[in-house]
Amino acid sequence: MSMSKAQHHFRLQIVDVHGEIYNDLATFVVVPGELGELGILFGHAPLISILRAGELRITPVKGPPEILFIEGGLVEVQSAIVTVLAHNGMRVSDIDPKISQSRISDAERVLKAHHGTDMDFAVAELELQKELAKLRAFQRYQQAQQLGNKQVYDWERPPLEGIPEINVQALED
């Protein structure tokens, strides 16, 4: 497939455990890579990377920039398509700092006590990182609100469509 030199956008698909979050053309996306933020433009070299919890910032071809929060996942970059498989995606404005603070306290308690298994320790460490990232994202959201830059955080999950009906009774038989 021959690409026009004037084309400077790519298809961005983002899905999480609840379904499709985003599917549109973008000129730039920043994902929270495991070792730091990763900016992707049209023509980026192919890659697959693990994502940590953090903000995912989209510059669509049409419309204002959009920001959402993902709780980790994977990104795959191909010649004309970027696919993000997120554990969970949410609006930054839906983050509850009180819940995050409570989860941070619980995780810190587990990490300090280290009474559980190595798996408990690892889970607590991941929970702590995720909730700290949520709080940082929420604080940036609040600052943007105070500065009047509300529109970049007005992301909403598209309505679910084409959900297959599951016959639970047939599964149990």
Same domain, 83 and 19: yes
Task: Based on the fold, state whether residues 70 and 138 are members of the same structural domain.
Answer: no
Residue 132: give the domain boundaries. Answer: 96-144
Q: Compute the distance between CA of residue 70 and CA of residue 84 in angstroms, rounded to an integer.
A: 10
Q: How confident is the model at residue 138 (pLDDT cuts 50, 70, 90)?
A: confident
Q: How far is CA 103 from CA 51, 52, 89, 107, in A?
A: 21, 17, 18, 6
In a domain, 59, yes or no: yes
Q: Is 112 left (phi over 0), alpha (psi -120 to 50) or beta?
A: alpha
| CA-only gyration radius of the chain, Å | 19
Q: Structurally, how many domains does the chain consist of?
A: 2
**Is the confidence at residue 1, as pLDDT, over 50?**
no
What pTM, to 2 d.p., does this model score? 0.71
